[in-house]
Structure 1
């Protein structure tokens, strides 16, 4: 999704129903919020968490959306990064004597918004 504001252009990427706890994904998202695109890639590639790979794919998708718009992803930064909880898959695990225990498998939705901070867009907004 691409929206044009009067000051800057922002590009959005959304990944839904990722099989991961939102708490574990937020631990990674908090580290990249507000950083530049290139710095974000370095951080995510070196993080040891499993959530970093899923978030890296969403950041790449947002950069591809920016490229389709004609923006340079090197001049962009992550203006908004959030993780919301998705549906919880409820499964049963068989136990002794015919009983069962419930297993909850959480999912999450990851949203990344890139904004362009290049001089061109700032000069166009002053005109």
Structure 2
């Protein structure tokens, strides 16, 4: 049974999140967590946390008849969808106002056995 985890309303734009997600997809869990830990991207930390949560869910779901070997787990499915956009106002010259869009992401991870 695949282990799943998700994080919603993460304050990183989906475009930036997908750049990191595409690197990690299909990797071994230990390898993916090691890559994310040393990656110089802001989206790496939330993705690391969600993968870590999915590994914990996998070990919780494991039973005596169906044990889970963490070394054989693979990031089977991972994707980042767009969440709601917060709209803010930035004051500009001569009484104008620009709209600032603070984008959010929803991140979903599913682990499978190799």
TM-score by length of 1: 0.81
Structure 1: segments with no counterpart, 5+ residues: 1-8, 118-127
Does the CA contact (< 8 Å) of 1:12 and 1:113 recur in 2? yes
Deviations 1:12-48 (A, max 9, x none): 1010010111111111111111111111111111111
Greater than 4 Å deviation, 4+ residue runs: none
Specify the SS of the correspondent of 1:35.
Answer: coil
- How many angstroms apart in 2 are the aligned matches of 1:111 and 1:91? 27
1:92 and 1:72 map into 2 onto residues whose CA distance is 50
1:85 aligns with 2:82: yes
Larger Rg: 1
CA RMSD of aligned residues (A): 1.1
Aligned partner of 2:93 in structure 1 is 96
Structure 2 residue runs of 5 or longer lacking an equivalent are: 63-67
TM-score (norm 2): 0.90
